[in-house]
Amino acid sequence: MYKASGGTGVSTEELENKVKEFIAFAEKIPERYREKCFEVLLSAYLASIRAQEKAIVPQKFVIPIDVRAFLQQYSVPEENIQELFITEREEIRPTYSIKTVKKAEAQIQLALLAALENALRPGGKFELSVEAVRQRCINHRVYDYSNFKTYFKKNKRLFDSLKDEEHVGLSPDGKAELAEVILEIVK
């Protein structure tokens, strides 16, 4: 089995048949061009196999530069992202578990991690949607109906502003707290 760059590959028999086909074709043209013709045909064929395999093989997730800068600034290893999320191409799925049982603390951790997840998306920013955080709190069973907004207000230093609830950005204090949350969850 021939494998171009580690992909699905082409059987040896298929490759032999293609080579024979290229030889037969090259023998029909003037002798001085045969070798070059064969090389070009084979090279093009192998390149097409590689192109097909690249379409099949998932692309590696690339951490955006703003997130890499954040991780470096707060001495958080890049590998920690893979411990918090499953990533493939541009898809991101959280896999972390919140360890605290205090609803107020858990809500803020989920908010900060939501901002990180959004920053990991192409063109994303360290921001969150209050309603998306509410849903995460419900899913993680840490939703406190009567105090949900109060927890944000008590921790307003972590956010740039709470006025636009669809685009709540992290403040420098919020990013520092996010770094601590990441390290706490992955330990």
pLDDT tens figures, 65-118 = 999 999 999 999 999 999 999 988 778 999 999 988 899 999 999 999 999 999
Is the C-alpha dihedral spanning 26, 30, 35, 37 positive or negative? negative
Q: Does any domain span residue 1?
A: no
Q: Are residues 30 and 101 in the same domain?
A: no
Q: Which residues of the chain have pLDDT under 70?
A: 1-9, 55-59
Total number of domains in the chain: 2
Provide the pLDDT for residue 3.
53
Q: Are residues 37 and 123 in the same domain?
A: no
Written as six digits, the tokens of 185 are 């969850």
3-state secondary structure of 94: strand
Provide the pLDDT for residue 58.
60
Kindly list the distances between the CA atom of residue 30 and the CA atoms of 35, 38, 91, 99, in Å, as whole numbers in the listed order.
10, 12, 53, 75
Q: Does any domain span residue 72?
A: yes
Q: Does any domain span residue 138?
A: yes
Exposed (0-12), middle (13-18) or buried (19+): which is 35, by Cβ within 10 Å? Answer: exposed
Provide the b/e sequence for 93-124 (b: ≥16 CB within 10 Å): ebebebeeeebbbbbbbbbbbbbbbbbbeeeb
Provide the pLDDT for residue 139.
93
CA-to-CA distance for 35 and 43, rounded, in angstroms? 12
For residue 31, the enclosing domain spans 12-56
Q: Does any domain span residue 28?
A: yes
Q: Are residues 43 and 134 in the same domain?
A: no
Q: Are residues 70 and 39 in the same domain?
A: no
Provide the pLDDT for residue 6.
47
CA-to-CA distance for 55 and 177, rounded, in angstroms? 39
Q: Are residues 101 and 181 in the same domain?
A: yes
Q: Are residues 112 and 37 in the same domain?
A: no
Angle at 65 between CA 62 and CA 70, to 5 degrees: 115
Q: Does any domain span residue 73?
A: yes
Question: DSSP readout, 129-143?
Answer: -HHHHHHHHHHTT--
Contacts of 82 (CB under 8 A, 6+ apart): none
Q: Are residues 179 and 141 in the same domain?
A: yes
Provide the pLDDT for residue 56.
66
Q: Does any domain span residue 5?
A: no
Provide the pLDDT for residue 8.
53
Per DSSP, what are the bridge partners of residue 127?
169
Provide the pLDDT for residue 5.
44
Q: Does any domain span residue 6?
A: no
Q: Are residues 75 and 161 in the same domain?
A: yes
* Cβ-based neighbour number of residue 51 at 10 Å: 10
Q: Does any domain span residue 3?
A: no
CA-to-CA distance for 78 and 65, rounded, in angstroms? 11
Q: Are residues 87 and 162 in the same domain?
A: yes
Q: Are residues 122 and 169 in the same domain?
A: yes
Per DSSP, what are the bridge partners of residue 2?
10
What is the value of pTM for the model shown?
0.69
